Amino acid sequence: MWMLVAVSFALKLLSTFVQHLGSLWGSLGALIPRLRAAFWLAGGKKSQQRQGRRKPRETSREDEEDRGLPVTPSSVNYHFTRQCNYKCGFCFHTAKTSFVLPLAEAQRGLLLLKEAGMEKINFSGGEPFLQDRGKYLGQLVKFCKQELHLPSVSVVSNGSLIQERWFRNYGEYLDILAISCDSFDEQVNVLIGRGQGNKNHVENLHKLRTWCKDYRVAFKINSVINRFNVDEDMKEQIKALNPIRWKVFQCLIIEGENSGEDALREAEPFVISDEEFEAFLDRHRDVPCLVPESNQKMRDSYLILDEYMRFVNCRNGRKDPSASILDVGVEEAIKFSGFDEKMFLKRGGKYVWSKADLRLDW
């Protein structure tokens, strides 16, 4: 009898518990979709934040933190002049001023950079051979090698103004000469803006290649891939010239330089998509010296000094200058450079850049 009462009481308790449990599951069943939605939205916001960090026009928390980290200017690009004799439609360092520092001031700045850790200097423009018919450039090159003992001194030029006597006077102090050549079709070069009267850009390229060999200067080619040359096949020509590196850049938009109301160039007609750039690279993947640089790799991975020796920050899609290193020193000015040292290393910015170490078969 007492056993039956106990069993009956236990069954009632179990029934009550099951009812409450069912009610609880019902509540959770209604709540779970809301929880899933909340987690999904949170994840989506985090994903959007991560994607936003990839956009060059937005400054992330990581960017702000990076500015406080010390940066060693191991490789510096000094655009000491904006003047040029060519009119490339996509140029992103245009002739907005005619200013060039006095030679002694430029040398003082280069000494400051060496003391801060610079190992490689690259002189560019504009067209660097335009100033004083190349003598100004030659004196800077000689100073960097002979006085500062830099491991690497290089120059980027369109090549149109270089004379053999410059090699005789300064070739021993130059490690690398990079010549800009965007096409091996002379008509395409004219369309791009690399035409100058009766001079043939491609023929001149071969002459410069010979002089580099004769005077023991490493030879390099830079090409900007754009709307007019994106379908070109350059494999055979590049292999025949055999440069130590063939830098292939995707056409880049910089506000105030080649885009916008105050720009001297309009590069929009030259712009290609990421997919078109990748297709060009795929077509040339068997060229051993190919070094590709997309917009993402290129934008923040260069330490650039303008004609006033100010670092220019391109993180926001334009060139925002720091104070000059001549006024505030390298350590202070470089904080505002926007330089992405990780991307610099990732894109292969540090390589064998001294001709003494290249061991080329001259």
Q: What is the arithmetic mean of pLDDT over 83-112?
A: 94
Residue 296 sits in which domain range? Answer: 72-347
* Residue 71, token pair as written in the block: 């940066």
**Rounded-to-integer distance, Cα 250 and Cα 140, Å:** 30
**Rounded-to-integer distance, Cα 275 and Cα 296, Å:** 13
Whether residue 83 lies inside any domain: the answer is yes
Whether residue 33 lies inside any domain: the answer is no
Which residues have C-beta within 8 Å of that of residue 191, sequence separation ≥ 6?
Answer: 228
CATH number at 182 reads 3.20.20.70
What pLDDT, on the 0 to 100 scale, is given for residue 69? 62
What pLDDT, on the 0 to 100 scale, is given for residue 341? 83
pLDDT at position 43 over 70: no
pLDDT at position 129 over 50: yes
332: helix, strand or coil: helix
Q: Which residue has the tokens 């993180």?
A: 315
Nearest to 332 by CA among 100, 71, 141: 71
pLDDT at position 42 over 80: no
Give catalytic status of residue 251 as yes or no.
Answer: no
Give how far Cα 227 sits from Cα of 81, 158, 182, 261, Å: 27, 20, 11, 22
Whether residue 125 lies inside any domain: the answer is yes
**Rounded-to-integer distance, Cα 275 and Cα 272, Å:** 8
Split at pLDDT 50, 70, 90, the class of 103 is very high
Q: Give the active site residue among 91, 144, 181, 212.
A: 91
What pLDDT, on the 0 to 100 scale, is given for residue 207? 97
Whether residue 36 lies inside any domain: the answer is no
Number of domains in the chain: 1
Inter-residue contact 287 to 239 (CB < 8 Å):
yes
76, containing H or E segment: strand 75-79
Split at pLDDT 50, 70, 90, the class of 14 is very low
Q: Give the active site residue among 84, 212, 251, 314.
A: 84
What pLDDT, on the 0 to 100 scale, is given for residue 119? 97
Give catalytic status of residue 181 as yes or no.
Answer: no
**Rounded-to-integer distance, Cα 247 and Cα 253, Å:** 18
Whether residue 189 lies inside any domain: the answer is yes
Q: What is the arithmetic mean of pLDDT over 308-334?
A: 94
* Residue 98, token pair as written in the block: 């005619």
Task: For the chain, give the mean pLDDT.
Answer: 83
Give how far Cα 145 sits from Cα of 4, 98, 260, Å: 105, 27, 40
What pLDDT, on the 0 to 100 scale, is given for residue 356? 85
Convert the pLDDT of each residue in 74-93 to its tens digit.
999 999 999 999 999 999 88
Q: Give the active site residue among 88, 144, 212, 314.
A: 88
Whether residue 8 lies inside any domain: the answer is no
Whether residue 4 lies inside any domain: the answer is no
Angle between helices 135-142 and 103-115 (to 10 degrees): 30
Q: What is the arithmetic mean of pLDDT over 311-321?
A: 89
348, containing H or E segment: none
pLDDT at position 40 over 50: no
**Rounded-to-integer distance, Cα 244 and Cα 224, Å:** 17
Convert the pLDDT of each residue in 270-307 to its tens digit.
999 999 999 999 999 999 999 999 988 777 778 999 99
Dihedral pair phi/psi, residue 290, rounded to 5°: -65, 130
Nearest to 217 by CA among 257, 170, 264: 170
Nearest to 325 by CA among 156, 142, 173, 118: 118
**Rounded-to-integer distance, Cα 130 and Cα 141, Å:** 15
DSSP 14: H
What pLDDT, on the 0 to 100 scale, is given for residue 362? 55
Between 10-14, 32-36, 183-187, 289-293, the lowest mean confidence (pLDDT) is in 32-36
DSSP 196: B
Between 42-51, 66-75, 120-129, 255-264, the lowest mean confidence (pLDDT) is in 42-51
Split at pLDDT 50, 70, 90, the class of 217 is very high
Sign of the CA dihedral running 326, 331, 332, 333:
positive
What pLDDT, on the 0 to 100 scale, is given for residue 228? 97
Which residues have C-beta within 8 Å of that of residue 295, sequence separation ≥ 6?
Answer: 56, 250, 252, 274
Whether residue 64 lies inside any domain: the answer is no
